[in-house]
Amino acid sequence: MHTREAEDLVRPLLWIGFDGKIPPPETVKLIHQGVSGVILFARNVGTRDETRTLIHELKSIARGTLLLSVDQEGGRVARLTDGFEVFPPLRELGSKGVDEVRAIGRRLGAQVRDAGFDIDLAPVVDVDSNPANPVIGERSFSRDPEQVGVLGAAMIEGLESELAACAKHFPGHGDTDKDSHYDLPRLPHALDRLRACELVPFKAAVTAGVSCVMTTHVVFDALDPGVAATMSAPAIALLRGEIGFQGVCVSDCLEMKAISAHFGCGNAAVRAIAAGVDALLVCHTTDAQHEVIESLAAAVVDGKIAPARVHEARGRLVALAERHGRMI
């Protein structure tokens, strides 16, 4: 396989981001060439009408279905604010009933869908088991894994009635004392502990029909010493096998320091796709986006990634687009 053919093959595995409210020419080119998704942040959006207009513009560039995603969790992680309902952090929902949380999920999903998105990268189903955690905290429903599982499943059912939901951050970012945006956290827990705590909400999320699961850039010694879960074949095998997830497995952003500073975006992308991840978030720079595409293409040409693995990932992305993607 030639390099250009390989680049065309792997490009749909990327979900990209950009700065500003106007997509730059290089972003437009990547969309036209076949990346399958775009993630928007507060830096990109304005009012509901402005957001819908931007999403329509982005989707009109694509030759196929382009999936638009956003982190709209509630609380401090809410990218859509101008004219949108303010939803509380999940911690405030931790004491509410299943029916109420499901109804809130449906209302949240309806607002995100109405703005033009296909995927809400929510909810967080990490268990807030470490009070020193700098990144999860009130983004989690509870410190009780069973409660997180029950309410996470209800939120997912509500969201999925409107658009695709995404359970994050697999296998669990709740017990770390470092933020993977800046550091590479490591958890020494035995697998039995993971099964009793971190994995409980993910099993509930999969049973509830979640469309996507996002991996975390955390090293789990019991699964793959020294290797972040995003790049770990044993971690993804756990998700596919024991947890039973068959939807789209998406990485957290590869430009986060846990990955970019320790492994490099291109190297991590190759290892993630080889391990079984289907979609790669590269949220900020076109340099990193091109590095990922070129690295993946070279790995296909060199035989480090089998074309069948890429086709498997693309098949899941096509199924997601057929279920949740739309033009507006």
- Residues with catalytic roles: 181, 252
Residue 53 vs residues 32, 57, 58: alpha-carbon distances, Å: 18, 6, 9
| Alpha helix stretches (DSSP H) within the chain | 3-10, 25-33, 48-61, 90-93, 98-114, 145-160, 191-196, 200-207, 233-240, 257-260, 265-275, 286-302, 307-324
- The token pair at 68 is 């638009």
Q: How far is CA 309 from CA 93, 230, 278, 306, in A?
A: 39, 16, 9, 5
- Distance between CA 114 and CA 242 in Å, rounded? 35
**Tokens (6 digits) for 150:** 């029950």
Q: How far apart are CA 235 and CA 224, in angstroms?
A: 7
Q: Is the peptide bond before 123 cis (omega within 30 degrees of 0)?
A: yes
Query: Residue 182 to residues 196, 231, 257: CA-CA distances in angstroms?
Result: 28, 17, 5
- The residues near 115 (Cβ < 8 Å, ≥ 6 apart) are 45, 48, 51, 52, 55, 70, 80, 84
Whether the CB-CB separation of 238 and 191 falls below 8 Å is answered with no
